[in-house]
Amino acid sequence: MTRAFKNLSLMSAFLSFFLSTHTSVGAQEPPQGPDEPEAGCAAMEALGASGNEAARESLLQALNDPDPAVQACAVRAAGRSGDPKAVDALLSGIETYLKSAGNRGDYEEDLQARLKAIDSIWALGETGDARLMNKLSKFYRESDDVLRINLIISMGKLRGKAAPNLTAIAASGEESEAVRAAAFEMLDELGQPAPNANLSASRRPGIEKADLIYTGGVLGTITGWGSGHMPVGHTGIFAGTEIKNGRINVVILDCVQNILKPYGGVRNIYSWKNFTHYFKFPYYGNRTTRPRPTAAQRDLIVKTGLALGKLGLKYNNSHLSQKGPLEFDCVGYTEYLYEQAGPNPTDNSFESGLGWPLTPWEQFMSVKPSL
């Protein structure tokens, strides 16, 4: 299911401009209307790729649109366009966020600005422009772990001179285990050897065991059914890290559509790559309930999930069985694991009646950053 863009006037203008200047995009039919987020995102990506100056100016305006769904699509399209003005706008937005982040106390005081910064980092990786490596390295030094994981993924996508930076991150005990795991993965993507000699332990895990973690939707666009007003569309549980074959791996519990690879349904996975659906979406951070789960509850959440991940349980496409016990969807699975241990991330009113189905975005907003 999808949700409409609120700012229909801007989207209508985009679509009207696009349809008046193009009869098709490649072999595909042009979008048919602004009521579907997929059509809106497709239209903006077509505008960014069109080479038409007026179209690209419209895309630049959309980067600051008050509707977060429009903004998220515009950021994505800006990165893929490779337009220098769009790239400069993304860089400027990240710099502004990082300069303000240290002065706001709780880093999510302006959640929309934070998610836009994360999306912008992801979008810079989509440009494929290795000349951006120095900028990403500078941002890295000024960022928290959530931003750092996204910066590492974007560095790897840019290729170029990424390997030395990633090697240093993977080898450093000053970095968190979750961050180092991302660096090891991107070195694999680049075909570079990992620094596995005398691998030192990290001083901190970076993400607490049993924290809820978030990325974009599994299928469709960044504003798919689970996103609502922001780009969050998939949730899982961080089960910890492991050192294996001289490298650090994350351990994640989640539930995805049965058709997805390496396998669908309820699963235990060991990479950021699989959790973010082959780096198709950014990583939006880790959160948990208030009050926070106890150590014993966290152990039980992870123990239960690791056991269920071995049973071949399936994803429920209708969302009529969100919380099992035999079929789940992604957000229902995480709710189930938490509730088995005691905490309840989202009020049950979201899961029945007019509140049904519970979405990843609703859960994201019901829990708090795990600082």
Residue 248 β-bridge partners: 243
CB-CB contact of 229 with 361 (8 Å): yes
pLDDT at 30: 29
Measured N-to-C along each axis, helices 330-341 and 295-308 cross at an angle, to the nearest 10 degrees, of 130
Which residue's structure tokens are 């938490």?
338
**Geometric angle at alpha carbon 281, from 266 and 4, rounded to 5°:** 95
pLDDT at 343: 98
pLDDT at 71: 84
CB-CB contact of 248 with 99 (8 Å): no
pLDDT at 39: 60
- Give the burial string for 80-99 (b: 16+ CB within 10 Å, else e): bbebeebbebbbebbeebbe
- Residue 25's SS3 state is strand
Tell me which residues of the chain have a pLDDT lower than 50: 1-37, 105-106, 218-230
**How far is C-alpha 294 from the chain's CA centre?**
27
CB-CB contact of 221 with 233 (8 Å): no
| Phi, psi of 67, deg, nearest 5 | -80, 115
pLDDT at 231: 73
pLDDT at 154: 97
pLDDT at 40: 65
pLDDT at 107: 54
How far apart, in Å, are the Cα atoms of 315 and each of 95, 256, 257, 326? Answer: 40, 6, 5, 9
pLDDT in tens, 114-145: 999 999 999 999 999 999 999 999 999 999 99
CB-CB contact of 266 with 311 (8 Å): yes
pLDDT at 227: 40
pLDDT at 355: 85
